[in-house]
Amino acid sequence: MDEKIFLRFEQAGERMPVASLKLKEGITFDEPQDASPLNVGFGLQSLQPMRIEAVQRRHGWDRNQFGFDASLIEGGILLSGANGDPEGLPPGPYDVTVEVESYTFKNPHSRIIVKEGSRTSIVLQVKPETRVITLNDNFDAATQAVIDASTIDEKPLINWLAGSVRPKPRVQRRACALNILSRLAAPPALKAKTGLNRVFEAVHFADVDRIYASADPELNELLKGFAKDDTWKGEGAPGHPIHKRLVDDAVTRFPELGDKTQQDFDLQSYRQGGRNGMQIVVAIPRFAHPVVYADVDVDLGNPLWDLEGVIVHLGELLDGGPTDHFKVREKLGDLLAPEFIFYTVKKS
């Protein structure tokens, strides 16, 4: 009775404590630090199905169903009987599978024997990250001004980009932010002589696939002009609900917006022409306010520009994972002039 399975994580011999677990949102670790919960999946299959038949009958499940609880404890995840059922995880042999978004395990599948009245432990070995980012120290004046005004995870952005803060951010987040800074620094259209970085004020959020920033209201006017010139495409209101998080983040982050809601902002989406271009979603306040807010990402493909772009971008969405910004960095190295490439990647 009251059998349990305890999962904990290690990388290169060091524990990776779980910081949060929300089954409808995902998981985060103490370090490396993520901006958003990562998708997590658990699989638990009894190798002696007759042992779980009573549990299935008790909970009204069919023969193909078997549920369990997952909770955060001691920096790991405890699997136990569903809805607190002390007999819901009968002793016996099980196959256990664990998946965490963007992580690879050396032992994602484990076969264990749960002994009567005991807690059985599994140590999941996370494959170490071997890619190392080194800043090139070539930020132009406008980009440097944005960096100097920005903080991520309550740390100065320049230190965060260099990876010299604790807890360390995921290296994928740093690659994403640096790629977007590169794209913002480079002229965004054929007739443009300067980058869009001159109208950005500060970055306040960076994930593995996007940043949020504040900008001068001129940003939206510039993007509308590019769309008229057909060097960008204006989409109107963005179709994917993920872009609404830009407003949710702003009204939570900035005290002066504490009484505002989604209805107080207009969202406008623009996509840069060509491949490996930016998508910028601008949140325009419907009230007097000195700045607009921008959700900026860079896609491997452009679904509004060419067939290949449609295939690549749809592939990203169907995979359910974020854009791989190390692949983006490879593409930008061929696309942009060297002065707009702000970092190098090496393997440790």
Task: Read off the CATH number of the domain in which 104 is found.
Answer: 2.60.40
Q: Are 122 and 136 members of one domain? A: no
Q: Are 330 and 221 members of one domain? A: yes
User: How do residues 29-84 score in pLDDT, each as one tens digit?
Assistant: 999 999 999 999 999 999 999 999 999 999 999 888 889 999 999 999 999 999 99
Q: Return phi, psi of residue 177, to 5°.
A: -60, -40
CB 175 within 8 A of CB 181: no
Q: Are 304 and 187 members of one domain? A: yes
Taking 80 as the threshold, does the pLDDT of residue 275 lie above it?
Answer: no
pTM of model > 0.85: yes
Q: Look at residues 77, 109, 126 and tell me which one is the last residue of a structural domain.
A: 126
Q: Look at residues 126, 159, 194 and tell me which one is the last residue of a structural domain.
A: 126
Q: What does the pLDDT average to over 309-331? A: 61
Contacts of 1 (CB under 8 A, 6+ apart): 86, 87, 116, 117
- Cα-based distances in Å from 201 to 89, 185, 271, 292, 294: 54, 13, 21, 10, 11
What confidence score (pLDDT) does residue 156 get?
Answer: 98
Q: Are 44 and 61 members of one domain? A: yes
Max intra-chain CA distance, the chain: 73
Tell me the CA end-to-end span of the chain in Å, nearest whole number.
Answer: 47
Q: Coil, helix or strand for 139? A: coil
What confidence score (pLDDT) does residue 96 get?
Answer: 94
Taking 50 as the threshold, does the pLDDT of residue 311 lie above it?
Answer: no
Q: Are 98 and 144 members of one domain? A: no
> DSSP characters for 260-288?
--GGGEEEEEEEESSTT-EEEEEEEESS-
Q: Are 262 and 236 members of one domain? A: yes
Q: Which of 271, 295, 266 is nearest to 281 (CA)?
A: 295
Range of the domain at 148: 131-347
User: How do residues 192-221 score in pLDDT, each as one tens digit?
Assistant: 899 999 999 999 999 999 999 999 999 999
User: How do residues 161-191 score in pLDDT, each as one tens digit?
Assistant: 999 999 999 999 999 999 999 999 999 998 8
Average pLDDT value over all residues in the chain? 91
Q: Can you tell me the distance from the alpha carbon of 254 to that of 259, in angstroms, rounded to the nearest whole number?
A: 10
Q: Are 54 and 152 members of one domain? A: no
CB 151 within 8 A of CB 165: no
Taking 90 as the threshold, does the pLDDT of residue 315 lie above it?
Answer: no
What confidence score (pLDDT) does residue 321 get?
Answer: 54
Taking 60 as the threshold, does the pLDDT of residue 303 lie above it?
Answer: no
How many folded domains does the chain comprise? 2
